[in-house]
A and B are shown apart, each in its own frame.
Chain A
C-alpha cells in the first residue's frame, strides 16, 4: 500500500506539471486577451476575448496582428495588416511607399482608428502575435 505522503507528492508533482505546461502553452505559443476600444469595430467590440498565436510566421495582408504600440512600450494594439514592404498606400492625397522591414496597419473602423493613416508605416519588429479565434462572446465565436 502506498503511503499517503507518496500519494500527496504525486498529486503535487502532477499539479505543478499542469501549471507549468499550461503556462508554457499560454505564454509562449498561444495567448488569450481581452480587447478594448472602438478601432476594430465591427470585427471586435470592447470586451471581446481573442485567442492568438505568438511569433507568427508568414504574415500576409488581411491578418489581424497584436503588436506593441510604437509610442508606448507598455501598450498593445490590435490592427489589420494592409501593406507589406514595397506596397504603395494612399490616404487622402498622400501616397506612402512602405519601407523595407515595415508594414502598414489599419483598424477596421476607418473613422475612429489611430493607425498607419495617422503615424505611417511601423517596424515589423513590434509584432508579438496574430489573432486566430474570437472566443467571447459565445454567440460570435469565429476563426480568422
Chain B
C-alpha cells in the first residue's frame, strides 16, 4: 500500500521536524536561555591563575553573561579584542573608568586615565599577554562574560578569586 507508507513517512518527518525545532534552541542556543557558558582557555597569558605552567592540560572555565553580574577590579572577564572581531580573550580587570593605570612601553612608563565606559584589562602573566598594554582600554560593550569557576581538569576545580597577581595593580588604588 503506497499511500500508507507515504503517510507514515510524512508522520516521521513531522515528528523529526517538531523535535528539531524544540531541541535546537535548547541545545545550540542554550547559553542565551541560561546566560551561562563553558570555555576552554588557550595560552599561558593568565598564568598562574589559569593554565599555569605546571598544568598538563588546558583549563575549562564556567562563565556567566556580563549583564547578570557586576564587574569589580580583579574580576576575570572574557571580551572581544578591539583589533580582531573574531577572537575572544580572557583577562583580568585592572582598572575601571576613571582609574589611573600604568602603561609600560619597553623601558618607559606612563600614567593613563581609563576613559568613561571603558575597562583596563591585563593578563596575570606580564610580558606574555596581549592586553590593554598593547591595544589600550576596552569598551564596556565588548565585554561578554565574567568567569566564576575552573571546572576542568578535576584536580584544578576551584572558584576564581578576585585577587591580583603581585605585579598587576591599579596605580591609585593602594588599599585593595
Contacts and interface: CB of A to CB of B under 8 A. Distances in A.
B29 A28 contact: yes
Interface in A22-43: 23-24, 27-28
Contact of B18 (A17, A24, A74): A17
Interface stretch (A45-53, A96-104, A105-113, A135-143): A96-104
B83 A23 contact: no
A106 to B, nearest CB: 19
Interface residues of B, number: 22
- Residue among A20, A24, A68, A69 having the largest count of chain B Cβ atoms under 10 Å: A20
B135 to A, nearest CB: 9
A13 B18 contact: yes
B24 A123 contact: no
B143 interface: yes
Contacts of B84: 100-101, 125
Contact of B141 (A24, A27, A73, A99): A73
B138 to A, nearest CB: 8
A73 B143 contact: yes
Contacts of A14: 18
- Residue among B21, B67, B83, B141 having the largest count of chain A Cβ atoms under 10 Å: B141
Contacts, number: 69
Nearest to B117: A71
Contact of A126 (B21, B22, B142): B142
A123 B139 contact: yes
Contact of B21 (A21, A74, A122): A21
A99 B83 contact: yes
A71 B139 CA distance: 7
Nearest to A16: B22
B83 A70 contact: no
Interface in B55-93: 66-67, 80-85
Given A20-B22, A24-B29, A70-B117, A101 B82 contact: yes
- Residue among A69, A70, A99, A100 having the largest count of chain B Cβ atoms under 10 Å: A70
The 9 closest A-B pairs by CB, nearest first: A125-B80, A101-B83, A123-B82, A124-B85, A68-B141, A71-B117, A125-B85, A73-B140, A73-B141
Interface of B: 18, 21-22, 24-25, 29, 32, 66-67, 80-85, 116-117, 139-143
Given A71-B116, A72-B117, A123-B80, 16 more contacts: A14-B18, A17-B18, A17-B22, A21-B21, A27-B32, A28-B29, A70-B117, A71-B117, A71-B140, A73-B143, A74-B67, A99-B83, A123-B85, A125-B82, A125-B84, A126-B139
21 contacts: A14-B18, A17-B18, A23-B25, A28-B29, A71-B140, A72-B141, A73-B67, A73-B140, A73-B143, A101-B85, A102-B82, A102-B83, A123-B80, A123-B81, A123-B83, A123-B142, A125-B80, A125-B142, A126-B139, A126-B141, A127-B85
